[in-house]
């Protein structure tokens, strides 16, 4: 019973905190460059505003275009709800392990890329083709990180990995490499600088924004919410694997859950701060350097997996 409640709270936490996280990152970025920045709750206001607006559909848009926002939202939300944020041992964590979570995000991306091609403009095509190119390198890199973690923990379930990392793991080279690779993949997948700029609509800097350029109204609200949830998901994965302190294990009582929740908010704040600092400090790279960047992430992941295969210690 308590497990079901924890799972429900987890799903709500993921849904409700995501826009707050994005608002926080934007605020920190603004403060770092000397501006006041938008209020913390602005993303909620943006979503509500979009919900009230009329949807404008292009004449050539098909049912794929209309169905995609719901599918993208659903896939991303389900994936995020299966990542331990403040508690492990979620009721349905056996339904999907890390490989399945990566694949769920891949489904969302597949539908979004199709929606980009649906209307038949060149902007949508730019976004879709660049997004699939990024995915063709980022997804293997992510899978290499998953391999490293699961070879270490003896399981591909995120709950088991989190529980293992809470134990006595020590400093390992393969984990450091996996962390680096995961960070690079997270930046690429969420469309943050240096891979994509979520704030502009210039052709040179659009990948995600180009795919969703035609969306408006409630459809756009769902897609924006899905991308906020995706950022939360990646930060949660990094938090639960590499900073697994105070994640409540099932059966520890409600005090542990509350502590876990508070510490989780702190982890999000720290992660968001680091992301904002990184984005402010670095410039966006050219599109055709993406392959070098993600290739480096893939190499790091491969090196980490290789070390796990050959060594007993690293």
Interface with another protein in residues 47-76 (CB under 8 A): 51-60, 62-64, 70-71, 73-75
Shortest distance, position 247 Cβ to another protein, whole Å:
18
Within residues 108-127, the interface with another protein by CB under 8 A covers: 109-110, 113-114, 116-126
Q: In DSSP terms, which residues pair with 87 in a beta bridge?
A: 248
Alpha-carbon distances of 99 from 68, 146, 157, 295, rounded to whole Å:
22, 7, 9, 20
| Cα–Cα distance for residue pair 199/224, rounded to 1 Å | 12
Tokens of 47: 């979503």
Within residues 226-245, the interface with another protein by CB under 8 A covers: none
Among 9, 32, 40, 176, binds another protein (CB under 8 A): 176
Shortest distance, position 125 Cβ to another protein, whole Å:
3
| Cα–Cα distance for residue pair 177/182, rounded to 1 Å | 9
| Residue from 75, 160, 59, 166 nearest 118 by CA | 59
Shortest distance, position 254 Cβ to another protein, whole Å:
26
**Which one, 24 or 85, has the nearer CB to another protein?**
85
Number of residues counted as binding another protein (CB under 8 A): 103
Alpha-carbon distances of 284 from 98, 138, 167, 205, 235, rounded to whole Å:
29, 17, 38, 8, 21
**Which one, 181 or 240, has the nearer CB to another protein?**
181
Stretch that binds another protein, among 27-35, 152-160, 234-242, 252-260 (CB under 8 A): 152-160
Shortest distance, position 312 Cβ to another protein, whole Å:
6
| Residue from 281, 214, 201, 210 nearest 61 by CA | 214
**Which one, 25 or 75, has the nearer CB to another protein?**
75
**Which one, 32 or 117, has the nearer CB to another protein?**
117
Within residues 177-216, the interface with another protein by CB under 8 A covers: 177, 180, 213-214
294 close to 43: Cβ distance less than 8 angstroms: no
Shortest distance, position 56 Cβ to another protein, whole Å:
5
Q: In DSSP terms, which residues pair with 248 in a beta bridge?
A: 87
| Cα–Cα distance for residue pair 132/43, rounded to 1 Å | 27
**Which one, 28 or 126, has the nearer CB to another protein?**
126
138 close to 178: Cβ distance less than 8 angstroms: no
| Cα–Cα distance for residue pair 240/224, rounded to 1 Å | 24
Eight-class DSSP state of 165: H
Shortest distance, position 274 Cβ to another protein, whole Å:
19
- List CB contacts of 281: < 8 A, sequence separation 6 or more: none
Eight-class DSSP state of 92: T
**Which one, 157 or 236, has the nearer CB to another protein?**
157
**Which one, 28 or 75, has the nearer CB to another protein?**
75
Eight-class DSSP state of 247: P
Among 38, 40, 218, 284, binds another protein (CB under 8 A): 218
| Cα–Cα distance for residue pair 222/73, rounded to 1 Å | 6
**Binding status of residue 250 toward another protein by CB under 8 A:** no
Shortest distance, position 289 Cβ to another protein, whole Å:
8
Shortest distance, position 139 Cβ to another protein, whole Å:
4
Among 30, 37, 44, 107, binds another protein (CB under 8 A): 107
């Amino acid at each position: 019973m308590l497990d079901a409640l924890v799972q429900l709270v987890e799903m709500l936490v993921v849904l409700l905190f995501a826009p707050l996280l994005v608002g926080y990152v934007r605020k920190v970025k603004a403060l770092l460059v000397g501006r006041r920045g938008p209020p913390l709750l602005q993303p909620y206001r943006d979503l509500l505003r979009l919900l009230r607006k009329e949807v404008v559909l292009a004449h050539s848009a098909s049912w794929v275009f209309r169905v995609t926002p719901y599918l993208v939202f659903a896939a991303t939300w389900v994936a995020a709800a299966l990542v331990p944020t403040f508690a492990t041992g979620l009721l349905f964590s056996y339904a999907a392990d890390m490989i399945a979570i990566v694949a769920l995000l891949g489904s969302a991306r597949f539908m979004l890329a199709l929606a980009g091609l649906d209307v038949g403009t060149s902007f949508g095509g730019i976004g879709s083709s660049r997004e699939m190119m990024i995915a063709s390198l980022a997804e293997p890199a992510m899978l290499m990180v998953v391999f490293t973690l699961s070879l270490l923990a003896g399981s591909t379930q995120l709950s088991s990995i989190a529980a293992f990392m809470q134990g006595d793991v020590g400093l390992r080279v393969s984990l450091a490499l996996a962390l680096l690779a995961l960070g690079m993949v997270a930046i690429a997948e969420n469309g943050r600088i240096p891979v994509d700029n979520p704030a502009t609509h210039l052709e040179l800097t659009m990948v995600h924004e180009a795919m969703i350029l035609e969306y408006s109204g409630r459809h756009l609200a769902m897609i924006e919410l899905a991308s906020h949830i995706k950022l939360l998901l990646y930060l949660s994965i990094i938090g639960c694997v590499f900073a697994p302190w105070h994640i409540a294990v099932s059966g520890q009582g409600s005090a542990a859950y509350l502590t876990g929740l508070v510490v989780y908010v702190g982890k999000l704040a720290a992660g968001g701060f680091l992301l904002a600092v990184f984005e402010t400090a670095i410039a966006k790279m050219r599109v055709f350097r993406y392959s070098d960047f993600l290739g480096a992430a893939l190499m790091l992941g491969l090196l980490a997996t290789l070390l796990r295969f050959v060594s007993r210690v690293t």
